[in-house]
């Protein structure tokens, strides 16, 4: 398990100082089924815009 999860999306409600993710869990999905070849084929579904 990752000790720290980093995030550079400053307008995410889970973004914390030092580019840390403060979400209790992270949900990442693939655009191409169950197997992604690289990061471009994935998205973080945990993202929520700040202030919403």
Taking the C-alpha atoms of residue 24 and residue 14, their distance in angstroms, rounded to an integer, is 9
- Label residue 5 left, alpha or beta by phi (over 0 means left) and psi (-120 to 50 means alpha): beta
Phi, then psi, of 12 in degrees rounded to 5 = -85, 140
Q: Is the pLDDT of residue 1 over 80?
A: no
Model pLDDT for residues 27-43, shown as the tens digit of each residue: 999 999 999 999 999 99
Compute the Cα dihedral for 19, 23, 25, 27 and give only its sign: negative
Sequence ranges of the domains in the chain: 1-46
Tell me, what's the pLDDT at 24?
93
pTM value is 0.80
């Amino acid at each position: 398990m990752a000790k720290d999860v980093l995030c550079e999306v400053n307008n995410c409600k889970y973004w914390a100082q030092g580019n840390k993710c403060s979400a209790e869990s992270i949900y990442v999905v693939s655009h191409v089924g169950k197997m992604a070849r690289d990061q471009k084929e994935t998205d973080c579904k945990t993202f929520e815009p700040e202030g919403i």
